Amino acid sequence: MLKEKVQQLLDDAFDQQTHLYLVALDIDESNNIKITIDGDQGVSVQDCVNISRAVEHNIDRETVDFSLEVGSAGATSPLVLPRQYKKNIGRTLQIKTTDNAKLEGVLDQVSDNAITISWSVREPKEIGKGKVTVQKAQEIPLQEIKESKVKIIF
């Protein structure tokens, strides 16, 4: 019952703040509510406060004892939703696929069910000595991605 109530409150809050979206909602047996959000242009502290208030102020503490934590998906958090991939176009991703292959490349395109990454590789010339830089690209269906993270480059 609590999860449905919280989900409805979050749906209402995200309808008002369309730049934000839910990444994860976890409620354990002790009614510890953990909400992870993300946004098309990132998440501010005020965004977390607004979502927290939207939930906390609409659940009666006299009838339900709970704790509430609202946070943003961190820089090292795996990407989960297509919307998260869209905001990271042009950034380098490290991807593990369901067959345990490891890929790294720049995110070029995102659709509702796949992403496309590209990378450069040095390969031997067809004729003669030496190597030439070749651009590679690969489309990866989202259901084949086990984990995907943005590579932090300084």
* Region(s) of the chain under CATH 2.30.30.100: 82-150
Q: Write out the chain's pLDDT in tens, 154 residues.
A: 789 999 999 999 999 999 999 999 999 999 999 999 999 988 999 999 999 999 999 998 888 899 999 999 888 899 989 999 999 999 999 999 999 999 999 999 999 899 999 999 999 988 888 899 999 999 999 999 999 999 998 8
What length does the chain have? 154
CA 88 to CA 116: how far, in whole Å?
Answer: 12
Q: What is the DSSP secondary-structure string of 90-142?
A: TSEEEEEETT--EEEEEEEEE-SSEEEEEEEEEEE-SSSSSEEEEEEEEEEEG
Residue 149: exposure state from Cβ atoms within 10 A (0-12, 13-18, ≥19) = middle
What pLDDT shows up at residue 142? 95
CATH class of 82-150: mainly beta
What pLDDT shows up at residue 62? 87
Compute CA 129 distance to the chain's CA centroid, rounded to the nearest angstrom: 44
Which residues, in sequence order, are CB contacts of 107 under 8 Å at separation 6+?
Answer: 85, 88, 89, 90, 91, 92, 93, 115, 116, 117
CATH class of 2-72: alpha beta
Give pTM, 2 decimals. Answer: 0.81
* Region(s) of the chain under CATH 3.30.300: 2-72
